[in-house]
Amino acid sequence: MYDIFKTSITTQISALSGVSAEIVEPAVGVSNNMANGDLTLTVSRLRMKDNPTQIAKTLAEQWKADDMVTGAEAAGPYINFRINRTVLTRSVLQTVHATGPKYGWTNEGAGKRVIVEFSSPNIAKPFHVGHLRSTIIGNFIYKLHKAHGWDAISMNYLGDWGTQYGLLALGFERFGTEEELVADPIKHLFDVYVKVSAAAKEEAEHIEAMDADAAAAAGPTIQDQARAYFKSMEDGDESALALWQRFRTLSIEKYKQIYARLGVHFDVYSGESQIGEGMSRAIQMLTDTGLLIEHEGAKLVDLTEHKLGKALMQKSDGTTLYLTRDIGAAIERYEKYNFDKIIYVVSSQQDHHLKQLFKTVELLGLPYADRFEHVNYGLVNGMSTRRGTVVLLEDVLHESKEKMHDIMRANEAKYRGVADPDHIADILGMSAIVIQDMAARRIKNYAFDWSRILNFEGDTGPYLQYAHARLCSLERKAHVKVNPDADVSLLTEEVTCDIINQISLYPDILAASIKSLEPCTVVQYILKLSHSISSAWETIKVCGEADDVAEARLLMYWSARTVIGNALTLLGLEPVEAM
């Protein structure tokens, strides 16, 4: 938004100093302290021979004010510039009005395709809070790329293959019922898995206590049967695959309900089971390149010289592992989607696995090996519910919603005026969880704190939603309409200048975020903008003011509300208009 002013400064400084515009332009930036100036030139970056402080003084004295940049003042090795605030304000507010929900968007990624793989729960296991971070961070990254013009594909790579499904099938035969499966597939299959795992553990302990002959005569263990069952799945046994497919289909339908509540959409539901020839091709390529070596019947890739240990690719019984399937998936995805970038949104606990994957792909000599990226994140500590220590995401969302409902009911008069309090409570509850998660850099572990996140004051999700709703209310109550041609020269107060500056920076925030892939950049930005609005609220009024003043102020507030709403949407949240 400052580009027209930067261009004016660049042109004149280049003419005065003899330094090319290509060098001057990146040396001009938005000032850290607006009290000193709007834009600042770092003179040392001009690469001139003389003392930067003396150069700054000389250039500032030679500066000729114009309609765009009204003054220049040297400050040590810097030059601070004052710009025409009316021009800036008009440009910013009219641009927001014209572009609305796409304010700050670019075409930077036009013609490029990115796959964002995130969430990726295990079929037949509950959607626990450990999947929350991948889901909401991945959704943000997906939306962010779309905002920058990328052809973005959101992919859910389900954990739907492996020996555990053999164990689950055996457990269902022993402990499962059709009625419970249909009623709540994920919960029932999880209960079945817990029971059969306990039975397998008890059996193993019992056998361990036997002498060798008795143990040998005991026959196949539950784990032996599970491995055999999974082997039959890999060999294409129709009966085994039919039961597994039913578990998979029912689980996905349940997951979709949770994703709908979170406002998350997936373009592709993939999974380890969907990897076909890519897996066998991966094994063959590893063999042909001499990377695959045998060890006690198993096959592995030795990555010790890269400080990544030995990567097991195939067990001695011929079954594959996660890493093998991930390599096969990478091959098939590139051939199908021809991606320019693929981003894996997976916790930092999987850093080693992803490093092994990326290094193996590189050693295979695949031409797209440099297109892989791992976006990691830390752990959530202290997240528990009234139900106990097994923390399911649905339980957390339900409890958060109920807590918000209790807070809303405390103000009976306002509560009666909310059109759909149940829906609003659900949005506020999710906002509380999401904003706490995204408030700091994603790699940091954080402590989940109910008392803090549900507060309407401070840096919380409910506070941001309240700021948005209050601005919506102002627009409904105003005696004037939003007018993009309002006389913005009337916005001269220091606090209004601060709000305009904040609004103008949103495109820069999006530009910075696509580089760092840090949601906290957006969260901290809208918190600061909301605080600025709060500071102006009691003195910069709309209602009761003359029409021209009211129109200018309403346009500013409307623009701020639009930016906050856009940012909340980017973070995966539905902006609340009344609460």
CA distances from 48 to 14, 73, 75 (A): 12, 19, 17
For residue range 236-276, what is the model confidence (pLDDT) as tens digits?
889 989 988 888 888 888 888 889 888 899 999 988 888 87
Active site residue 254: no
374 catalytic residue (yes or no): no
pLDDT digits (tens, 9 = 90+) for 78-90: 999 999 999 999 9
Task: Provide the 3-class DSSP secondary structure of residue 480.
Answer: coil
Q: Which residue has the higher pLDDT, 275 or 569?
A: 569
Distance CA 69, CA 87 (A): 10
pLDDT at 386 over 60: no
Average pLDDT of the residues in 4-25:
95
Does residue 184 sit in helix, strand or coil?
A: coil
Which pLDDT value is given to residue 412?
86
pLDDT bucket at 385, cuts 50 / 70 / 90 = very low
Q: Supply the pLDDT for residue 455.
A: 67
Strand partners, 301: 292, 311
User: Does 125 participate in catalysis according to the annotation?
Assistant: yes
Sign of the Cα torsion 473, 476, 478, 482 reads positive
Considering only 36-40, 126-130, 442-446, 509-513, which range has the smallest mean pLDDT?
126-130
Query: Residue 125 above 90 pLDDT?
Result: no
Residue 435: Cβ-neighbour burial (10 angstroms; 0-12, 13-18, 19+): buried
Q: Which residue among 97, 128, 143, 401 is the active-site one?
A: 128
Average pLDDT along the chain? 91
Residues facing residue 373 across a β-bridge: 343
pLDDT of 454: 64
pLDDT at 356 over 70: yes
- Contact (CB, 8 A) for 116 and 572: no
Catalytic hit among 125, 146, 195, 231:
125
pLDDT digits (tens, 9 = 90+) for 132-152: 899 999 999 999 999 999 999
Confidence of residue 570 (pLDDT cuts 50, 70, 90): very high
pLDDT at 172 over 50: yes
The more confident residue out of 210 and 437 is 437
pLDDT, tens digit, 9 for 90 and up, residues 468-516: 999 999 999 999 999 999 999 999 999 999 999 999 999 999 999 999 9
Q: Which of 131, 148, 403, 468 is catalytic?
A: 131
Mean pLDDT value of segment 331-347: 96
Predicted model pTM: 0.88
pLDDT in tens, 37-83: 999 999 999 999 899 999 999 999 999 999 999 999 999 999 999 99
